[in-house]
Amino acid sequence: MKEILLMFITMNVELFIAKRLALGDKKSFSRFIIRIAILAISLSVAVMIISTCMVSGFSKEIKERIFGFWGEIHITNFENNDSFESTPIKKGQVLVKKIRHSKEVKNIAPFIIKAGILKTEKEIDGIVLKGIDTEYDWKNVSTFIKQGTAINYKEDSSVSKDILISKSTSKKMGLKVGDKVIVYFLRKDLAAPIGRKLQVCGIFETGLEEYDKQYALVDIQLLRQLNQWQQEEVAGYEVRLHDMNKMDAFKDSVYYKYIDQKVNAQTMKDINRNIFEWLDLTRMSGYMILVFAFLIAVLNMVTALIILIIDRTNMIGILKAIGTSNKSITQLFIYNASYIIINGLIWGNILGLGICVIQHFTGFIKMNQENYYLSEAPVNFDIWSILLINIGTLAICTIIMLLPTRLISRISPIKAIRFE
């Protein structure tokens, strides 16, 4: 008895009663409701964190792979169409000097695209060759190389016979590093195809099936000779920026500052419109999941408090009868609500971040690469988004929890004591 009396004296009465409701009798209905509420908020927060990390991961991973292979902006001739036979830019060097001096530009390199037919002793398949030179940003592409090396360019400016193929092409054609292949090119005059024997120097994998099934990298000189172009003629230039988020603004500035009416500038968003539209849809789906999970957390918070108040109506009547103010009784249930919110956030973060960490290191969530471009669900730990989820959930739930507690002021002590 003395210990109980001492407890009442030394600590907040409302907090003591709230603790008894939350941590008291294991068979208590109030304790069961509080546990269910914590579980529901935990799951909602976990779903919000997982969806945010994965949607952000999709966007980051796919953009990095596209920009890593192609750069952010392409500058080509206006006469080019969607085919793989290009019209050359004839005054490229003047254009390159102007763009290279821009502070936004990280790298600018020429390229030529040409369709061909890849043939081995047993297999034959269509392929698109991308011709590049030493100015190409090999630092980005080297992250994609799984076997072998990059193209070995000749010091005497002669044509390199190396070809860098994708892992998909390697499997399909039964090729490995060091193997010889023949690539045939069709002529515009419909004469017999031109053949070139090349050696596989390496195997790359971007993870984007659209690129891996289609492209291979070769020396730009090879395609320049096949097209019978002059030394300074190229199909276009790919521009890499220090900040990919500025590519739209930079593309617009290119039109006004650097290029004439015969040259066109396109961002990779313009060229790969389908992929970026899909990313926008994925982002919208992520936002919808966030909204639904957030609503579930809030509704669960309100429902749990209302049930707690109804379940403890008799107790509220007794407290009012002995002179306890509405403010003190409200404080009691606010303590319970705070207990639910804080525990829900803690366990939700542990569960959500735990699953994301496991996925990051193991990739146990697999995906259909043909539909989702990637074979595993990527994860990006966006700290600010995770903090916003926690702060937003805490703030809104704190505001919302004040609504059910208004019921306390309307409860009559006499009726409450008789309530069963």
Is residue 1 in some structural domain? no
Same domain, 112 and 255: yes
Same domain, 51 and 115: no
Same domain, 108 and 230: yes
Could you say which of 231, 260, 289 is where a domain stops?
260
Q: Please report, as a single letter, which amino acid is at residue 399.
A: I
Is residue 7 in some structural domain? no
Q: Token pair of 79, please?
A: 């006469």
Which pLDDT score is estimated for 210?
A: 78
Is residue 70 in some structural domain? no
Which pLDDT score is estimated for 11?
A: 47
List the one residue out of 336, 335, 334, 341 whose CA is nearest residue 297.
Answer: 341
User: What residue numbers bound the domain in which 44 lies?
Assistant: 12-64+276-418
Name the phi and psi angles at 184, rounded to 5.
-105, 145
Per-residue pLDDT of the chain (420 residues; tens, 9 = 90+): 444 444 444 346 555 555 555 555 556 666 777 788 888 889 989 999 999 999 888 888 888 888 888 888 888 887 765 566 777 887 666 777 778 888 888 888 899 999 889 988 888 888 999 999 888 888 878 888 899 988 888 777 688 899 999 998 999 888 999 899 999 988 776 667 888 899 999 999 887 877 888 899 999 999 998 888 888 888 888 999 988 888 888 888 777 776 665 778 888 888 888 888 888 888 888 889 888 888 888 888 778 777 777 766 667 666 666 666 667 767 777 777 778 888 889 999 999 999 999 998 988 888 877 777 777 888 999 899 999 999 988 888 878 777 766 666 666 555 555 555
Same domain, 132 and 235: yes
- What is the total count of domains within the chain? 2
Could you say which of 234, 260, 286 is where a domain stops?
260
Same domain, 230 and 195: yes
Is residue 267 in some structural domain? no
The label of the residue with tokens 């971007």 reads 206
Q: Please provide the DSSP assignment of 314-361 as one string.
A: HHHHHHHHTT--HHHHHHHHHHHHHHHHHHHHHHHHHHHHHHHHHHHH
pTM of the model: 0.76
The number of beta carbons lying within 10 Å of the beta carbon of residue 260 is 9
Contacts of 319 (CB under 8 A, 6+ apart): 328, 329
Are 127 and 118 a contacting pair, CB within 8 Å? yes
Cα 333 to chain centroid distance, Å, stands at 40
How many residues does this entry show for the chain? Answer: 420
Is residue 265 in some structural domain? no
Could you say which of 236, 260, 284 is where a domain stops?
260
Is residue 356 in some structural domain? yes
Same domain, 175 and 284: no
Same domain, 231 and 299: no
Same domain, 233 and 341: no
Q: Token pair of 84, please?
A: 């793989």
Same domain, 88 and 33: no
Which pLDDT score is estimated for 207?
A: 79
In angstroms, the CA 66 to CA 268 distance is: 8
Name the phi and psi angles at 332, rounded to 5.
-60, -50
Which pLDDT score is estimated for 261?
A: 59
Same domain, 150 and 40: no
Q: Please provide the DSSP assignment of 164-213 as one string.
A: EEEHHHHHHHT--TT-EEEEEE--TT--SPEEEEEEEEEEE--S-HHHHT
Same domain, 301 and 382: yes
Is residue 3 in some structural domain? no
Q: Token pair of 156, please?
A: 């005497």
Is residue 210 in some structural domain? yes
Same domain, 34 and 96: no
Which pLDDT score is estimated for 324?
A: 67
